[in-house]
Amino acid sequence: MGQIFNGKEIYAIGGGKGGVGKSFISANLGVLLAKNKGRVLLVDADLGGANLHTCLGIPAPAVTLSDFIANPSMQIQDAIVTTPYENLQLLSGGQDVLASANPKYTQKAKILRAIQSIQADYVILDLGAGTNYNTLDFFLIADKGVLVVIPEPTSVENAYRFIKSALYRRLSLLAGDSQTKAVIEKATKNKNDLGIRNPAELVSYVMESSPETGVLLREALNQFRPRIILNQVRSLADIRIGFAMQSACLKYFGIHMDFIGYLEVDDHVWKSIRARQPVVINNGGKSFRGLESISHNLMNDFQMKPE
């Protein structure tokens, strides 16, 4: 605590691919922020496949978002559990029921509203893999959306797919009229008969038929600023992939992406995961320093500088 706080910040940790370290990074950022900055709520937004509790070394919570969805009289506070770490609470996503993995629109809206109303200084949303609308909507309500990427083709591809899906989802939610929505829907397909290959071309296309919506979309494009973290980095060349993706995003999507840090391959990490303890509980070590620098950059809107 002790920090002047002006409002709650919501961070979403996603990335498309499974197994790249989203939950590991969410849990450790949560512990770090709770230790140094204020009240933190970790939300396991991997509905149906929640396991963030394991990263924190606690058993699966008895109450979860599934209960919150199922039970109209339940308050969101009642689904939140404490953790062994001061200032750090957990809202789990539920591991079972198919219904909770695919909430209806109204149920999802209820969750999103509840998350926004929660009393905390920081909310960290640990997203599931994939690019379904639930995941994208969690990503989009966050103040800052972060993608975790590892230096492998599949992960980079999935990250781009995630960025594109999230961006088109945002544009589609913004565009009020069904005509523009239909254009955006078409544009999401790689080979579409409108000849739209990327968001910038989509905006130009909409600008011609409906300038007012076009201006709105262009503004959204300018505001869209995902962050990326490179995980499991082994070399200097791996780190450069972060800058390269930044520059590719600008040229391809026309958006600015902040490369906010990397984590090296580190034996302490797998050991900590097996021990079901966050790696940052021990100060020092390259992963601790990496996570500290990531949280610093994330909070202050900083980014990495190429060496």
Binding site for another protein (CB under 8 A): 151-153, 156-157, 160, 197-198, 200, 240-241, 243-245, 247-248, 250-254, 306
Judged by beta carbon, residue 246 or residue 272, the one nearer another protein is 246
Judged by beta carbon, residue 108 or residue 240, the one nearer another protein is 240
From the CB of 252, what's the least distance to another protein, in Å? Answer: 5
Judged by beta carbon, residue 225 or residue 271, the one nearer another protein is 225
The CA R_g of the chain, rounded to the nearest whole Å, is 19
Judged by beta carbon, residue 119 or residue 222, the one nearer another protein is 222
Instruction: Tell me whether strands 144-149 and 9-14 are parallel, antiparallel or unpaired.
Output: parallel
Strands, E, within the chain: which ranges?
Answer: 9-14, 40-45, 80-82, 88-91, 122-127, 144-149, 227-233, 258-264
Alpha-carbon span 107 to 27, nearest angstrom: 25
From the CB of 157, what's the least distance to another protein, in Å? Answer: 5
Q: What is the enclosing helix (H) or strand (E) of 171?
A: helix 153-174
From the CB of 168, what's the least distance to another protein, in Å? Answer: 15
Number of continuous H segments (helices) and E segments (strands) in the chain: 13, 8
> CA-CA distances (angstroms) from residue 100 to 61, 71, 105, 134, 302?
15, 12, 12, 11, 36
Judged by beta carbon, residue 170 or residue 218, the one nearer another protein is 218
From the CB of 302, what's the least distance to another protein, in Å? Answer: 17
DSSP assignment of 195-227: ---SHHHHHHHHHHH-HHHHHHHHHHHHH---E
From the CB of 213, what's the least distance to another protein, in Å? Answer: 17
From the CB of 125, what's the least distance to another protein, in Å? Answer: 26
Judged by beta carbon, residue 48 or residue 254, the one nearer another protein is 254
